[in-house]
A and B are shown apart, each in its own frame.
Chain A
Amino acid sequence: AQSVTQLDSHVSVSEGTPVLLRCNYSSSYSPSLFWYVQHPNKGLQLLLKYTSAATLVKGINGFEAEFKKSETSFHLTKPSAHMSDAAEYFCVVSSNTGGFKTIFGAGTRLFVKA
């Protein structure tokens, strides 16, 4: 079985401070992991993905995530938040072993204060 838990429904940071969005996953197989971002009233855009290559994954707009198998975590970080980062972020686990499944977390809304 697969599941995704985003540990915070809302995160608020000040502009210029670090961002940490937490994601834990459960999967019976070696999964692919993704982070997507959704700006208000828009579709989703890929930030980064992990597919069993390097455990530290770099994405767009300065975001990165580290796959930690022992902790079953895939937390998203950024050293310095910008106002334009305010959006909703989704952690996703996907696999095609035993049938295709893709599971989205409930989302974390990021607020950035000036």
Chain B
Amino acid sequence: DAGITQSPRHKVTETGTPVTLRCHQTENHRYMYWYRQDPGHGLRLIHYSYGVKDTDKGEVSDGYSVSRSKTEDFLLTLESATSSQTSVYFCAISAGLAGAEQYFGPGTRLTVT
């Protein structure tokens, strides 16, 4: 299995609080991604990174920010969590972009009450 870990694996938080999810890889892959998974929607891309300090928005980026200060770490921040952000969040990595296989982490289940 690709070396991808996500922390925390589960989190319950209250509306309006900030939340940061961490993705850590040991594969030295250039590209990293954050997705959310909701029933009936498959996975939707939130943000992705194509290098240290280089990030871009995905399909559902509103309410989320990201940072990548090291190749191995990609952080997803919800500045002020809302109930609509209750979801399962997956991190993924790849060596290339559109044509490359993505390797997924185990996921983080976030509940906003």
Q: Using A42-B106, A43-B106, A100-B48 as known contacts, say yes or no to A90 and B42 having CB atoms under 8 A apart.
A: yes
Determine whether the beta carbon of B41 is less than 8 Å from that of A106: yes
Q: Which residue of A lies closest to B106 (CB)?
A: A43
Q: Count residues on chain A whose CB falls below 8 Å from chain B CBs.
A: 23
**Interface membership of B12, Cβ < 8 A:** no
Partner-contacting stretch, out of B63-71, B75-83, B97-105:
B97-105
Question: How would residues 92 to 113 of chain B score, 1 for a CB under 8 Å from any chain A CB and 0 otherwise?
Answer: 1000011101101111000000
Q: Which residue of A lies closest to B90 (CB)?
A: A43
Indicate which residue in A43, A51, A90, A96 contacts B105 across the interface (CB closer than 8 Å): A43
**Interface membership of A77, Cβ < 8 A:** no
CA A44 to CA B59, docked complex, whole Å: 19
Which chain B positions have C-beta within 8 A of A4? 42
Determine whether the beta carbon of A32 is less than 8 Å from that of B90: no
Most buried by A among B98, B102, B106: B98
Question: How would residues 8 to 51 of chain B score, 1 for a CB under 8 Å from any chain A CB and 0 otherwise?
Answer: 00000000000000000000000001010000111111001000
CA A49 to CA B107, docked complex, whole Å: 23
Indicate which residue in A43, A100, A105, A106 contacts B98 across the interface (CB closer than 8 Å): A100
CA A96 to CA B97, docked complex, whole Å: 7
Which chain A positions have C-beta within 8 A of B43? 44, 90, 104
Q: How far is the CB of B110 from chain A (nearest CB, A)?
A: 15
CA A106 to CA B43, docked complex, whole Å: 8
Q: How far is the CB of B96 from chain A (nearest CB, A)?
A: 9
Determine whether the beta carbon of A100 is less than 8 Å from that of B97: yes
**Interface membership of A73, Cβ < 8 A:** no
Determine whether the beta carbon of A49 is less than 8 Å from that of B101: yes
CA A104 to CA B104, docked complex, whole Å: 14
List residues of chain B with CB under 8 Å of any chain A CB: 33, 35, 40-45, 48, 56, 59, 90, 92, 97-99, 101-102, 104-107
- Between A and B, 8 residue pairs with Cβ closer than 8 Å are A4-B42, A42-B106, A49-B99, A96-B97, A100-B48, A100-B56, A102-B33, A106-B40
